[in-house]
Amino acid sequence: MDADASTERAQYSNENGPAARGGRERWRMIMTASVGNFAEWYDWGVYGVVATLIAQQFFPAGNSALALVGAYAIFAIAYLTRPFGTVVFGHIADSLGRPKALTFTIILTCTSTAMIGFIPTYASIGAAAPLLLVLCRLIQSLGTGGEHATAIAFVYEHGASGKKAKAVGMLSALTLAGLLSGTLLATGLSAILPDGAWTSWGWRVLFWLSLPMGLIGLYVRRNARDGEEFRQVKNHQRRKAALRSSPVLEAIRTSWRKILVFVAFLGTWSIVSAIVTSYLATFLKQNHALSQAQAYGANTTASASAVVFVLLFAPVVDRVGLSRATVIASIFVAAAIVPGFLLAGTNLGGAYLGALLLGMAKGVLAVPSLLAVSQIFPARFRVSAGGLSYNLAASALGGTAPLVAVALNEIFGSSLGFSCYIVAAALVTLVIALTVGRRWMTESAEHPGSLAR
């Protein structure tokens, strides 16, 4: 570790760290960070739920399989701007403060999400329809690239010592609740509206709802303030007259090896998150044993299961530490994914049981994965470094995951191909957690509020 890092660790020793805050203020801070993530995951979830309709509306008729590939190709392309979002908003968050970055990201995220609902169909404007969809997704992804890492750091720095995982877990649960809300609304609207209305315009309502979500988010975040740890970092740097002009460049210069390793480390989360969020609904709707309502219901079960198991596993992470929790989560994912998808492709009962198992895997993996985004990097460039790791993994592996799933499903004629792909990723995360990741997670114990044992 470099001399600056040693100075920082000394500066923020436990006795001088942030005081434990009351439950009410901590909840307010978590809610402040969560509203943007709620909207972000609401959008990703809605896109997956209505992917088949997007394929029908924005691509030429005649080849439904090719249109679905096109819809998921746009999903993958959108991830390309996530690392750029980290560079832009990570700089703002690490230089000017987390709340400023969170204000900008929620405006970008919610506005671009809502605009998808206004795009005319392919039948109306031809190739301009998918091009406009790509543009909206790229802008939305730019905001997402800065939103999630900033929100995690914000919650982490406001969390009480010894309860950081619980704080991040609450953020994760409320974030996943955005996904759950999207699936619930899709289920309700598709059941209430006539088939013609739902497929022609009803699905657009799901995207339009991002506008009021954004306004609520801006209102909630108006009085947000940085956590004590980050404020002390800025005060320390000002006293030294050494405020870095580019936290992103410093992160790359001092921690590039760690960033690259944690891109691979976060690969499992990126894949599982994208598959359960944006591909599971399509997979379930291709199961001829299920009606559309039953497929949406099973998908909702997966989302609800993820929220519940995030909350259940977060206190465990606080007790056993980040490294051990990652080992547990990786093993569980490797064991659960294959039977989860096999069950989801059978009858009604199997579909619900498989969805429940897949949601459990996502929920258990969420807390250690997202906690690592903040815990393993120092506060002075936490958002920049953590965001790069998170969003490079999301771009390379998460964005392509539904597309890979569709392709492997076509090649193998079953879910075994992409299920084994996820298992392989889980084993990579497990190996990293047991080797170099274990050392880096243990080193983070020298930072305030660390969970590593």
Q: What is the pLDDT of residues 24-35, one digit of tens each?
A: 777 788 788 887
* Mean pLDDT, range 185-210, rounded to an integer: 88
Length of the chain counted residue by residue: 453
pLDDT (0 to 100) of residue 64: 80
pLDDT (0 to 100) of residue 46: 83
CB 54 within 8 A of CB 175: no
How confident is residue 2, by pLDDT bands cut at 50, 70 and 90? Answer: very low
> If DSSP codes are grouped into helix, strand and coil, which group holds residue 287?
coil
Amino acid making up residue 414: S
Neighbours of 238 (CB within 10 A): 10
pLDDT (0 to 100) of residue 101: 92
Measure the CA–CA gap between 369 and 383, rounded to whole angstroms. 15
Q: Who's near 272: CB < 8 A, 6+ residues apart?
A: 333, 337, 361, 362, 365, 422, 425
Amino acid making up residue 64: S
pLDDT (0 to 100) of residue 271: 95
| Eight-state DSSP code of residue 414 | S
Residue whose C-alpha is closest to residue 373's, from 145, 150, 103 = 150
> If DSSP codes are grouped into helix, strand and coil, which group holds residue 20?
coil
The 10s digit of each residue's pLDDT in 152-190 is 999 998 888 788 999 899 889 988 888 788 878 887 888
CB 101 within 8 A of CB 150: yes
The 10s digit of each residue's pLDDT in 425-434 is 999 999 999 9
Q: Who's near 328: CB < 8 A, 6+ residues apart?
A: 316, 320, 364
* Mean pLDDT, range 372-381, rounded to an integer: 88
For the ranges 85-89, 216-220, 389-393, the lowest mean pLDDT is seen at 216-220
Indicate whether 326 pLDDT > 50. Answer: yes
- DSSP H helical ranges for 50-127: 51-58, 64-78, 82-95, 98-116, 122-125
Q: Who's near 177: CB < 8 A, 6+ residues apart?
A: 38, 307
- DSSP H helical ranges for 321-400: 322-344, 348-375, 382-393
Residue with tokens 């996904």: 179
Compute the mean pLDDT over every residue in the chain, rounded to the nearest whole number.
Answer: 84
Measure the CA–CA gap between 220 and 200, rounded to whole angstroms. 34
For the ranges 5-14, 250-259, 316-325, the lowest mean pLDDT is seen at 5-14
The 10s digit of each residue's pLDDT in 274-316 is 898 878 988 998 898 998 888 888 988 998 999 999 999 999 9
* Mean pLDDT, range 35-63, rounded to an integer: 82
- Which of the two residues, 307 and 236, has the higher pLDDT score? 307
Q: How far out from the chain centre does Cα 72 lie?
A: 17
Indicate whether 1 pLDDT > 60. Answer: no
pLDDT (0 to 100) of residue 437: 66
Amino acid making up residue 212: P
Q: Who's near 22: CB < 8 A, 6+ residues apart?
A: none
pLDDT (0 to 100) of residue 403: 86
Here the tokens at position 412 are 């193998």
pLDDT (0 to 100) of residue 240: 56
* Mean pLDDT, range 98-126, rounded to an integer: 92
Indicate whether 442 pLDDT > 70. Answer: no
CATH fold of the domain at 21-446: Growth Hormone; Chain: A; (1.20.1250)
Measure the CA–CA gap between 257 and 318, rounded to whole angstroms. 27
Buried b (16+ CB within 10 A) or exposed e, 9-19: bebbeeeebbe
pLDDT (0 to 100) of residue 430: 95
**End-to-end Cα distance, the chain:** 19
pLDDT (0 to 100) of residue 226: 85
pLDDT (0 to 100) of residue 278: 79
How confident is residue 8, by pLDDT bands cut at 50, 70 and 90? Answer: very low
Which percentage of the chain shows pLDDT scores above 70? 89
Residue whose C-alpha is closest to residue 230's, from 22, 35, 378 = 378
CB 160 within 8 A of CB 450: no
Indicate whether 19 pLDDT > 60. Answer: no
Measure the CA–CA gap between 450 and 453, rounded to whole angstroms. 8
The 10s digit of each residue's pLDDT in 331-351 is 999 999 999 999 999 999 999
Residue whose C-alpha is closest to residue 165's, from 430, 370, 330 = 370
Domain boundaries, the chain: 21-446
The 10s digit of each residue's pLDDT in 249-278 is 888 888 888 999 999 999 999 999 989 887
* Mean pLDDT, range 237-257, rounded to an integer: 73
Own/partner contacts of 433-436, CB < 8 Å, gap of 24 or more, are: 433/265, 433/323, 433/326, 433/327, 433/330, 434/327, 436/261
* Mean pLDDT, range 389-416, rounded to an integer: 88
Here the tokens at position 268 are 């499992």
* Mean pLDDT, range 55-77, rounded to an integer: 86
Indicate whether 379 pLDDT > 80. Answer: yes
Q: How far out from the chain centre does Cα 154 lie?
A: 15
pLDDT (0 to 100) of residue 438: 67
Residue with tokens 């699905």: 203
* Region label for 126, one of left (φ > 0), alpha (ψ between -120 and 50) or beta (otherwise): left
Measure the CA–CA gap between 435 and 52, rounded to whole angstroms. 42
Residue with tokens 């301009």: 128
Which percentage of the chain shows pLDDT scores above 90? 41
pTM: predicted TM-score of the whole model, two decimal places: 0.82
pLDDT (0 to 100) of residue 383: 92
